[in-house]
Amino acid sequence: MRTVVALVIVFIVALVGNAVVPSFLGIYAHATVPVFLLAILLCFGAGQFSIIAGLTFAFIGEVLSGLPFSTLTAPFLIAFLVYGALLRFINIRPLISTEGGLMNNVIALILGGILIVVFLGAVAGINRVFFSQSFDIMAMLRNSQILIYHLTALVIMVSLIRLCLYKRLEQ
């Protein structure tokens, strides 16, 4: 139960970030909820809890942000599958475990960067195919401000989730 409450708190922070970040940084809206979804993957691994929590929060994020259905859920599923495939080749523990040192965090941050690119690519493909919207992923990836923002937000989200659950892990 504590895990669900912690995720709800961090999700509320992500929704507030969706309202605040675009006005200050000029970055497109709805940027923090996808980062939150990827933080769930990095913290809890590619398991049953991650898929249920991720799809639930993706759907809630779509409804509250007014996005068309499958704008967040389908890219999350694609990122989940890619992350599961990557974990078959790279042996790291989920970041929510207290074991593993700095190298585990660095590898997870690199995997997070890969997942950000996969997620944004999936959003671009879905928008182009299903919604006939132009979304230039290459122009967005060339903009270093967007990538730095996503990686920074990912580190903050993972840290918030770990901080909320740290007491539970010590017991």
Whether 105 and 162 have beta carbons less than 8 Å apart is answered as no
**Does residue 152 have a pLDDT over 50?**
yes
**Which residues span the domain enclosing 12?**
2-170
* Residue of 58, 28, 33 lying closest to 136 (CA atoms): 28
Mean pLDDT on 113-142:
75
Work out the pLDDT band at 169, boundaries 50, 70, 90: very low
Q: What proportion of the chain, given as a percentage, has pLDDT over 70?
A: 67
Higher-scoring residue by pLDDT: 77, 16? 77
The pLDDT, as a whole number, for residue 43 is 81
Q: Which H or E run contains 24?
A: helix 2-25
Higher-scoring residue by pLDDT: 171, 159? 159
* Residue of 5, 151, 19, 127 lying closest to 75 (CA atoms): 127
The pLDDT, as a whole number, for residue 60 is 85
Mean pLDDT on 157-163:
75
Mean pLDDT on 29-57:
82
Whether 80 and 41 have beta carbons less than 8 Å apart is answered as yes
The pLDDT, as a whole number, for residue 78 is 92
Mean pLDDT score of the chain, rounded to an integer? Answer: 75
Mean pLDDT on 10-16:
72
DSSP string for residues in 116-130: HHHHHHHHHHHHHHH
> How many domains, the chain?
1
Radius of gyration for the chain, computed over Cα atoms and rounded to the nearest angstrom: 15
pTM of this structure? 0.77
